[in-house]
Amino acid sequence: MAEEVNYTEDNIRSLDWKEHIRLRPGMYIGKLGDGSAPDDGVYILIKEILDNSVDEYVMGVGRTIEISIKDRSVTVRDYGRGIPLGKVIDCVSKINTGAKYDSKAFKKSVGLNGVGTKAVNALSSAFEVQSIRDGQTKIARFEKGDLVEDAEVVESAGRRGTRITFFPDESIFKNFRFVDEYIERMIKNYVYLNPGLTVYFNGVKFYSENGLKDLLQDVLDGPVMHDIIHLKDNDVELALTHSDKSQSEQYYSFVNGQHTTQGGTHQAALRESLVKTLRDFYGKNYEAVDIRQSVVAAFSIKVVEPVFESQTKTKLGSADMGPDLPTIRTFVNDFLKKHLDNFLHKNPEIADAIQRKIIRAEKERKELSGIQKLARERAKKVSLHNKKLRDCRVHYSDLKHENRLETTLFITEGDSASGSITKSREVNTQAVFSLKGKPLNCYGLTKKVVYENEEFNLLQAALNIENGLEDLRYNNVVLATDADVDGMHIRLLLITFFLQFFPELVKEGHLYILQTPLFRVRNKKETIYCYSEEERRQAMAKLGAKPEITRFKGLGEISPGEFKHFIGKDIRLDPVIIGKDQTIQQLLDFYMGKNSPSRQEFIIENLRVEKDIIETKTA
């Protein structure tokens, strides 16, 4: 019989604002992470501060924002109105304090809940805020949310505005790093949504004149079927075209300046209204999937008091544009019915190109329908018998927000490696997909091969990405292969598969490579896992004379008991990022196309030649 536990007044405890944020950070910033993913918490911290600066620009003040990151310390300086000096401390340390509750000041604001800046403060080992206005300035400093310096208001000749500097707490964000590409992507979205706003990041200027049209031109990879359609009206903007290479839908949707990476009611309304408008325009009842195939669109609306599904605001839940305003569905449908219909009547060459695209998609779908049906049946059978996929307990779409961002699918090769990961994984959020041998080199092949090849078909089914990323079941797709020549080849073949058929999975930051240790260095008191020769040398120096050194040849040689250290909270992931100056086609041509002098030179320069190392050495 279980021992009875006393339950008295002494068991009841009230947490202050910073204690609750630090105890439950996921409620405020989503997943923590180490900076290897674009939705990791360290980027949400930057975004929360930036949101306030951008809101100043939206209100008509402060056309420039400066961001600098040095030694993992972040500074954001705007030239808005500055926080009222008597409320500086309250605005960064008292929950539910801010101007955004006053609808006259911030009618359609990005940040609404009076929480964001306070979360940054509480989750930072050092946090400093300075406000300059009316010829005076006020500075306050905090450590982990505790006020440590409350400076007097003094005279200042500086330009008005707000400057915030913070250092994410390393006890919460373990081994974190900042990836510049992720920050630049965030900044670009801000300037695309706010033409005329200038943002400097470590001295580099970001600026846009044409709004979402510039965004679409930036993200497009390869040829398109027609010029970009750019439509604007009060509280709504749309840029749209059709890719000539990718068959899936790609949406970059925003609400009040917030990038809703998980979509929501506004994105659903856009997809539905696009089908209805084009059916009406052409007078034909085309299938929705054929109409939307290859769509690439950037879409932004402004909503009064939007309701998001979490503090990180990645999915809109609101059904209405605001109190006493039409539904979002009605608003978006009316917008497309008027503006897209008018545009197509005035631009018949684009209207003809879109119709040809729909007819081509219909033809391709019918040609593939039989193969797709058989492929889905095979995938269903394999899933039922659990031969390839060891799923996590709760599927992606059913998880609460803070856990959904943690869902991971490890793609590995060989029974021993998949067995080790399966036994050591966190079964609620981590799944394993086991490959059989090397995948097919799909460079230059059509999507028909995805359905005809069993490995690709089952992988597509496991991820649920046949019709795009909207129902992606795992937020993180991790390639877990050996760090030898064969393992590197498998990685390259899988990356080729995703770039060839599902490039948005890579573009949206879902694809990673698992880093596993090359060495184990230990003595009787301590064990250190090393991921490089340099780390091995440092470990040997730390442990002193004659430690035992083990060289891991492959994932299958690492026991499940050890493996849990490498895929748990200290997991090391390298994101697969497409370079700024290369298209996907250029990447595929270079790495997977015919041999060329430039590729041969690249291979020679980057070839890793490992010195002979005694696998297990005990001196």
* pLDDT, tens digit (0-9, with 9 covering 90-100), for 467-492: 777 778 898 999 998 877 788 889 98
List of residues 6+ apart from 473 with CB closer than 8 A: 395, 396, 397, 407, 409, 462, 463, 464
List b or e across 301-320, with b for residues whose CB sees 16 or more CB atoms inside 10 angstroms. Answer: bbbbbbebbbbbbbbbebeb
CA distances 447 to 112, 224, 293, 444, 466, Å, are: 44, 18, 13, 10, 10
**pLDDT band with cut points at 50, 70 and 90 for residue 202:** very high
Q: How many CB atoms lie within 10 A of CB 580?
A: 8
Final residue before a domain boundary, out of 189, 207, 225: 207
CA terminus-to-terminus distance, the chain: 53
- Do 230 and 352 share a domain, yes or no? yes
The CA-atom distances, in angstroms, between 414 and each of 366, 417, 434 are: 36, 6, 7
Residue at 1 is within a domain: no
Which residues touch 600 (CB under 8 Å, ≥6 apart)? none
Of 566, 523, 565, whose CA–CA distance to 544 is shortest? Answer: 523
d(CA 588, CA 441): 11
Phi, psi of 493 (to 5 degrees): -65, -40
Tokens of 67: 């961001």
Nearest to 561 by CA among 443, 451, 423: 423
How are beta strands 258-259 and 408-413 bridged, if at all? unpaired
619 confidence band (pLDDT: 50, 70, 90): very low
Q: What is the DSSP string of 488-545?
A: HHHHHHHHHHHHHH-HHHHHTT-EEEEE--SEEEE-SS-EEEESSHHHHHHHHHHH-S
pLDDT at 394: 67
Amino acid identity, position 280: D
The stretch 343-366 carries a mean pLDDT of 95
Q: Specify the CATH number for the domain of residue 309.
A: 3.30.230.10
Q: Phi/psi zone of residue 204: left (φ > 0), alpha (ψ -120 to 50 degrees), beta?
A: beta
Pair of tokens at residue 174? 């373990």
- Domain range for 248: 212-365
Same domain, 501 and 570: yes
The pLDDT assigned to 403 comes to 65
**Residue 378 dihedral angles phi and psi, to the nearest 5°:** -65, -45
Confidence of residue 312 (pLDDT cuts 50, 70, 90): low
Q: What is the DSSP letter of 398?
A: G
In whole angstroms, give the CA distance from residue 583 to residue 244: 14
Residue identified by tokens 């997809």 is 271
CB 212 within 8 A of CB 277: no
User: Is residue 119 assigned to a domain?
Assistant: yes
Average pLDDT, the chain: 85
What are the structure tokens assigned to 339, written together?
A: 């503006």
158 and 75 inside one domain: yes
80 bridge partner residues: none
User: 116 with 76: CB under 8 angstroms?
Assistant: no
More confident residue, 66 or 405: 66
CATH of the domain at 481: 3.40.50.670
Of 128 and 413, the one with more pLDDT:
128
Structural domain contains residue 589: yes
Residues 104 and 187 grouped into a single domain: yes
The span from the CA of 286 to the CA of 311, in Å, is 39
CA neighbor of 587 nearest in space, from 490, 512, 507, 487: 507
Quick one: 545 exposed, middle or buried, by C-beta within 10 A (0-12, 13-18, 19+)? Answer: exposed
Per-residue pLDDT, averaged over 446-469, amounts to 86
Does the structure show a pLDDT above 90 at 128? yes
The answer to whether 320 and 255 have CB atoms below 8 angstroms apart is no
Across the beta sheet with 258-259, what order do the strands follow? 229-233, 236-242, 295-301, 250-255, 258-259
Mean pLDDT of the 461-469 span: 84
Do residues 94 and 225 both lie within one domain?
no
- 318 located within any domain: yes
User: Is the residue at 104 inside a domain?
Assistant: yes
254 lies in the same domain as 152: no
Q: What is the mean pLDDT of residues 278-286?
A: 97
Per-residue DSSP letter, 612: P
Please name every residue paired with 515 in a beta bridge, in sequence order, or none if there are none. Answer: 572
Q: What is the mean pLDDT of residues 388-408?
A: 69
Q: Which residues contact 208 (CB under 8 A, 6 or more apart)?
A: 188, 191, 192, 194, 195, 197, 214, 215
Q: Are residues 410 and 423 in the same domain?
A: yes
Three-state SS string over 400-432 comes to CHHHHCCCEEEEEECHHHHHHHHHHCCCCCEEE
Average pLDDT over residues 66-87: 95
Mean pLDDT for 389-416 is 74
Strand 236-242 relative to strand 295-301, pairing: antiparallel
Instruction: Give yes or no for a contact between 382 and 458, defined as CB atoms under 8 angstroms apart.
Output: yes
Between residues 460 and 403, the one the model is more confident about: 460
Contacts with 197 (C-beta within 8 Å, 6 or more apart), sequence order? 54, 57, 63, 64, 65, 190, 191, 207, 208
Q: Which segment of 219-233, 311-325, 417-431 scores lowest on mean pLDDT?
A: 311-325
Residues 320, 383 contacting (CB under 8 angstroms): no
Q: Rounded to whole angstroms, how far apart are CA atoms 359 and 345?
A: 19
In a domain, 11, yes or no: no
Mean pLDDT of 222-230: 93
Per the structure, the count of domains in the chain is: 3
7 in any annotated domain? no
Look at residues 335, 365, 395 and tell me which one is the last residue of a structural domain. Answer: 365
CATH number where 72 lies? 3.30.565.10
| pLDDT for 274 | 97
Question: Where does the pLDDT of residue 386 fall: very low under 50, low under 70, confident under 90, or very high at 90 and above?
Answer: low
Same domain for 589 and 561? yes
* Radius of gyration for the chain, computed over Cα atoms and rounded to the nearest angstrom: 26
Length of the chain: 619
Query: In sequence order, which ranges of 220-347 are alpha helices (DSSP H)?
Result: 265-282, 288-292, 328-346
Listed in sequence order, the residues at least 6 apart from 29 whose beta carbon sits closer than 8 Å to its beta carbon are 41, 44, 45, 48, 119, 123, 311, 312
- Asked if residues 38 and 509 have their Cβ atoms less than 8 Å apart, the reply is yes
Give domain status of residue 82, yes or no.
yes
DSSP string, 24-87: -THHHHS----SSSTTSHHHHHHHHHHHHHHHHHHTT---EEEEEEETTEEEEEE-SS---GGG
Element (H, E) at 217: helix 212-219
Report the predicted TM-score, pTM, of the whole model to 2 decimal places.
0.80
pLDDT at 610: 40
Say yes or no: 410 and 494 in one domain: yes
Least confident stretch, 77-81, 282-286, 555-559: 555-559
Backbone phi, then psi, for 569, in 5-degree steps? -65, -20
Q: Which of 190, 207, 224 is the last residue of a domain?
A: 207
Same domain, 35 and 180: yes
Examine the domain organization and report whether 376 and 340 are in the same domain.
no
Regarding whether 361 and 373 lie in a shared domain, the answer is: no
